[in-house]
Amino acid sequence: MDQPQQEPPSESSPLVTDNRTAIRNSALQAVLQLSDHSRVYLAIKFLISLGKITACLLILFLTSTDVEKPLDTFIYIMLSIECVYALVTVVNFSIPPAEQHFRLKRTISLFEYLALLTYITGHILGNIWFYSCDSCFDDARELTILSLVLIVLGYIYMCMPCLLCCCICLCLPVLIIALMYANPGQHPATEEQISKLKVASFNSTEHINKECVICFAAFEENDEIMILNCDVRHSFHSVCLKKWLRINNTCPICRKPLE
């Protein structure tokens, strides 16, 4: 007796959803880890803080600070915050977060939280003092220009999370390719291996996966797709998969190497 044919999972089935989210989560986690723990990133961050500290000290001690509004107080607030961030950066550079003791992590988090609150408060006060001072440019030009620079940088820092989120969402395919190149343990597939893969025309009633997780575009009827041997659900646009395999010989979803 013939066995009843099992219906393919629905669009909202976890089997299909996992295919769509696996590579997104992998790429996002890798990007965040690289940005948080990279020594290059920490070194650049420290150099920026050091430059701001140097500029603040030079302006405060070598130029006039006699102005209508307490812009020098605003500079001192920003200077103290940069010193805290520079110290935290040095600690993270010397002792990677993965190797830090729980108490040290907790102390660093507390300092960063207090510095952030102080930064927001100082930035608000700096805006009030700067925009309400009519004679600051005439009385202390260098101090006023430095205050303006710090205020503009504050706007950029506050908008940075939104800008970063938009960039990640819009440029995720590019980031995935960059991460593939950044992985030193990967090897490209041979043309012989690629030619042996199963090629089919997409049919919404026959194929379970409805979207290519490499380019994140939905399959259309009769699109040429390639199906990997590791799982029948692991199907991709032929063009997308060939580009992937010429860089990395593993499945983009489960990371199983080609046979």
By C-alpha distance, which of 70, 66, 75 is closest to 138? 66
Q: pLDDT band for 95, please (50, 70, 90 cuts).
A: confident
Instruction: Round to whole Å and give the CA distance between 216 and 129.
Output: 49
Q: Quote the mean pLDDT of the chain.
A: 79
The pLDDT score that the predictor gives to residue 178 is 67
Q: Are the C-beta atoms of 76 and 147 separated by less than 8 Å?
A: no
Q: Which residues contact 83 (CB under 8 A, 6 or more apart)?
A: 53
- Picking from 68-77, 163-172, 186-195, which range would have the lowest pLDDT averaged per residue? 163-172
- Helix/strand/coil (H/E/C) assignment for every residue in 41-103: HHHHHHHHHHHHHHHHHHHHHHCCCCCCCCHHHHHHHHHHHHHHHHHHHHHHHHCCHHHCCHH
User: What was the pLDDT predicted at 39?
Assistant: 73
C-alpha to C-alpha distance for 80 and 71, rounded to whole angstroms:
14
Residue 70's pLDDT is 85
Closest C-alpha to 56, from 125, 138, 116, 146: 146
Is the pLDDT score of 185 beyond 60? no
CA dihedral 152, 153, 155, 159 (to 10 degrees): 150
Residue 46: HSE in the Cβ half-sphere, 13 Å Cα cutoff: 14
**63 with 142: CB under 8 angstroms?**
yes
- Which residues is 225 bridged to in the sheet? 200, 237
Q: What is the pLDDT of residues 4-52, one digit of tens each?
A: 444 444 444 444 444 445 555 555 554 444 455 567 778 888 888 898 8
Question: Per-residue pLDDT averaged across 38-67, rounded?
Answer: 84
pLDDT at 204: 85
Domains within the chain, CATH numbers bracketed: 28-177 (no CATH), 187-254 (3.30.40.10)
> Is the pLDDT reported for residue 62 higher than 80?
yes
Percent of the chain at pLDDT > 70 equals 79
10: left (phi over 0), alpha (psi -120 to 50) or beta: beta
